[in-house]
Structure 1
Amino acid sequence: MNIRIDNLPNYRIAYVRKVGPYGPHNVEVMEKLKSWAKRNGLFNKTAIILGIPRDNPEVTSPENCRYDACIVISNDYQIDNVVSEGELPGGQYAIYKVKHTAEEIQKALDTIFSDLLNKGYEIDSKPIFERYSGEVDDNDYCDICVPIKPKE
C-alpha cells in the first residue's frame, strides 16, 4: 500500500450530511454536494473533495451514523443555506493512496491501524477521511487520511 506521512493544514469546509448506515447511499450525498459545488463554480481540477464518516458503526448504531460529503473552501467564501460550514483540523496524517472502490477502501481500512501501530504511531482523535483531488469523476484513486501521533 502506498503510504506517506504529511502535515495537513486546517481545512474550512462546506458540507452536506447524511445520517444513516454507511454504504451505497453515501454516493447520493456526495452527488448533492458536487451539484452544489458545480452551480457555485467550486467543482474544478483544483477542488479538494472529502468524505468524512463521523461515527464508528461498531460503537454507534447504523441508523445514527453521520457521513459528511465536503469540499474545501477559502476563508472568505460565503456559503448559502444549501450546505453547512465547518472546519477539519490539520496536523500529522498518514496518507494511504488507494484505488477508489469499496473493496480496496475496505481492504485498506482492515490493515491501516495495525500498520500504523507497527510503525510506532497511534491514531489521533481527529476524524479519518477520504480525500479526492480535482474533478472526482476523472480520478480512480483517493487518499485515506488517518490522523496520527507518536506512540506515548
Structure 2
Amino acid sequence: MAFDIELKHLPAVRLAGLPHCGPYPTIGPIFQELAGLIPEPSWVEVEGAAMIGHDNPREVAPEKLRSHACFIVSEGFAMVPPLEEIRYPAGKYAVMTVKGPYAQLPEAYRWLSEEWFPASGERHRDLPAFEAYLNDPSDTKPEDLITEVRLALKG
C-alpha cells in the first residue's frame, strides 16, 4: 500500500505533552489526562492534538514503547508542570496524510520509513515524526479520521 506524501515548509510547532510508556494504541487515557490539566480559558491556545512516538515498534517491545500525548499550543499557552514542552522547528517536512482508522498507522509508518524515505533522496533531521490529528475521534467515524504524519527533513 502506498500513501500520499507532500514536501512542505511548516512553521515551528510548540507542543504541551505528557509521557506514556506502553503500546502506542493505549495512549488514549493519557490524552484524557492531558485534557483535564488544561483549564477552560486556556483552550483558546490549543490548536490541535498530536502524538510523538519515540521508538520503532518493530524494534522495541510494546510495553517499552515511549511516546507523548500532546496538544499543539500557541506561544501564549502557559506551560505548567506536569506538562512537558516539546518543540519542532520550522522547516522542510515530509507530510503523509492518512485517511481512515488509526489501525492503519503502523503500515503507514512502515511504508514511510522502509519504502518512501530510502528512495526519496531526503535527509532526516534528528527528530521523531509526529502525528497531527486533524479531526476528533469522539465525533468522527473511523473511516473519516484524518492524520498527518510529519517527518522533519534537512534542507
- TM norm structure 2: 0.77
Report the equivalent of 1:27. Answer: 28
Unaligned runs of 5+ in 2: none
Q: Is residue 102 of structure 2 the alignment partner of residue 97 of structure 1?
A: no
Partner of 1:10: 12
Identity of aligned residues (%): 23
Total equivalences in the alignment: 148
CA distance in 1, matches of 2:63, 2:133: 26
The one of 126, 131, 151 equivalent to 1:146 is: 151
Shift in Å, 1:88: 2.4
Q: CA 1:54–1:149 in 2, change beyond 3 Å: closer, same or farther?
A: same
Q: Which runs of 5+ in 1 are unaligned?
A: none
Alignment partner, residue 67 of structure 1:
67
- The answer to which of 132-141 and 6-15 deviates more is 132-141
The alpha-carbon distance between structure 1 residues 89 and 66, as it changes in their structure 2 partners (threshold 3 A), is farther
Code of the aligned partner of 1:81:
P
CA distance in 2 between partners of 1:4 and 1:49 (Å):
21
Deviation readout 1:81-129 (Å, 9 max, x if unpaired): 3422232233211111112423321221121121132232233321111
Deviation of residue 15 (structure 1)? 0.7
